[in-house]
Protein backbone atom coordinates (compact mmCIF):
# COMPACT_ATOMS: atom_id res chain seq x y z
CA UNK A 1 0.00 0.00 0.00
CA UNK A 2 1.17 3.54 -0.65
CA UNK A 3 0.02 6.46 1.44
CA UNK A 4 -1.56 9.34 -0.49
CA UNK A 5 0.51 11.78 1.58
CA UNK A 6 3.71 10.41 -0.01
CA UNK A 7 2.51 11.24 -3.53
CA UNK A 8 3.73 14.84 -3.38
CA UNK A 9 5.01 15.36 -6.91
CA UNK A 10 3.44 15.41 -10.36
CA UNK A 11 5.15 13.15 -12.90
CA UNK A 12 4.72 13.82 -16.61
CA UNK A 13 5.14 11.01 -19.13
CA UNK A 14 7.09 11.80 -22.30
CA UNK A 15 6.81 9.30 -25.15
CA UNK A 16 9.25 9.02 -28.07
CA UNK A 17 8.26 9.87 -31.61
CA UNK A 18 6.68 6.98 -33.52
CA UNK A 19 8.10 8.10 -36.86
CA UNK A 20 11.35 6.78 -38.31
CA UNK A 21 13.97 8.29 -40.58
CA UNK A 22 15.45 6.68 -43.72
CA UNK A 23 17.72 4.47 -41.60
CA UNK A 24 14.87 3.24 -39.41
CA UNK A 25 15.97 5.31 -36.41
CA UNK A 26 13.64 7.41 -34.27
CA UNK A 27 14.21 11.17 -34.27
CA UNK A 28 15.10 12.76 -30.93
CA UNK A 29 11.62 14.18 -30.34
CA UNK A 30 9.42 13.56 -27.31
CA UNK A 31 5.68 14.07 -26.91
CA UNK A 32 4.29 15.14 -23.55
CA UNK A 33 1.60 12.76 -22.35
CA UNK A 34 -0.38 12.01 -19.22
CA UNK A 35 0.50 13.01 -15.66
CA UNK A 36 0.21 11.14 -12.37
CA UNK A 37 1.06 11.72 -8.71
CA UNK A 38 4.33 10.16 -7.54
CA UNK A 39 6.90 9.92 -4.76
CA UNK A 40 10.51 10.68 -5.77
CA UNK A 41 13.41 9.16 -3.83
CA UNK A 42 17.07 9.73 -4.64
CA UNK A 43 19.12 6.52 -4.41
CA UNK A 44 22.71 7.46 -5.29
CA UNK A 45 24.93 9.52 -7.55
CA UNK A 46 28.13 8.54 -9.32
CA UNK A 47 30.59 10.03 -11.77
CA UNK A 48 31.04 7.90 -14.86
CA UNK A 49 32.14 7.91 -18.49
CA UNK A 50 29.34 9.14 -20.73
CA UNK A 51 29.55 9.82 -24.48
CA UNK A 52 32.84 11.69 -25.00
CA UNK A 53 33.38 12.87 -21.44
CA UNK A 54 32.53 12.44 -17.80
CA UNK A 55 29.02 12.95 -16.40
CA UNK A 56 27.23 12.52 -13.12
CA UNK A 57 24.52 9.88 -13.17
CA UNK A 58 21.90 9.89 -10.44
CA UNK A 59 19.64 6.95 -9.62
CA UNK A 60 16.07 7.60 -8.49
CA UNK A 61 13.21 5.47 -7.29
CA UNK A 62 9.73 6.68 -8.22
CA UNK A 63 6.69 5.19 -6.52
CA UNK A 64 3.13 5.59 -7.74
CA UNK A 65 -0.20 3.81 -7.70
CA UNK A 66 -0.20 0.89 -10.15
CA UNK A 67 -3.46 1.97 -11.81
CA UNK A 68 -2.06 5.47 -12.47
CA UNK A 69 0.77 4.31 -14.74
CA UNK A 70 -1.33 2.48 -17.31
CA UNK A 71 0.54 2.48 -20.62
CA UNK A 72 3.92 3.50 -19.17
CA UNK A 73 6.86 1.49 -20.59
CA UNK A 74 10.64 1.47 -20.28
CA UNK A 75 10.88 3.35 -23.59
CA UNK A 76 9.20 6.44 -22.10
CA UNK A 77 10.75 9.19 -19.98
CA UNK A 78 9.46 10.84 -16.80
CA UNK A 79 9.76 14.51 -15.91
CA UNK A 80 9.48 15.22 -12.18
CA UNK A 81 10.45 18.55 -10.56
CA UNK A 82 12.59 19.50 -13.56
CA UNK A 83 14.44 16.16 -13.64
CA UNK A 84 14.19 14.20 -16.90
CA UNK A 85 14.46 10.54 -15.93
CA UNK A 86 15.20 7.53 -18.13
CA UNK A 87 13.18 4.52 -16.98
CA UNK A 88 15.29 1.42 -16.29
CA UNK A 89 12.58 -0.86 -14.93
CA UNK A 90 8.99 -0.89 -13.73
CA UNK A 91 8.09 -3.29 -10.93
CA UNK A 92 4.70 -4.28 -9.53
CA UNK A 93 5.48 -4.39 -5.80
CA UNK A 94 4.53 -7.82 -4.39
CA UNK A 95 2.48 -8.45 -7.59
CA UNK A 96 -0.46 -6.84 -5.74
CA UNK A 97 -1.39 -4.31 -8.47
CA UNK A 98 -1.23 -1.48 -5.94
CA UNK A 99 2.25 0.07 -5.95
CA UNK A 100 4.49 0.65 -8.95
CA UNK A 101 8.22 1.02 -8.24
CA UNK A 102 9.99 2.69 -11.17
CA UNK A 103 13.80 2.66 -11.18
CA UNK A 104 15.17 5.66 -13.11
CA UNK A 105 18.45 7.31 -14.05
CA UNK A 106 19.22 10.96 -14.71
CA UNK A 107 22.37 12.02 -16.55
CA UNK A 108 23.50 15.49 -15.52
What are the sequence ranges of the domains in the chain?
A: 4-107
What pLDDT is attached to residue 4? 72
pLDDT confidence of residue 1: 64
pLDDT of residue 2: 72
Residues of the chain with pLDDT under 50: none
Q: Where are the alpha helices (DSSP H) in 1-108?
A: none
Q: Does domain 4-107 have CATH number 3.30.1360.120?
A: no
pTM for this prediction:
0.85
Amino acid sequence: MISAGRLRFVATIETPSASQDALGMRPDAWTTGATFRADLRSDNAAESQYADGVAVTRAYEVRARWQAITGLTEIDRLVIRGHTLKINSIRNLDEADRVAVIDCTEVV
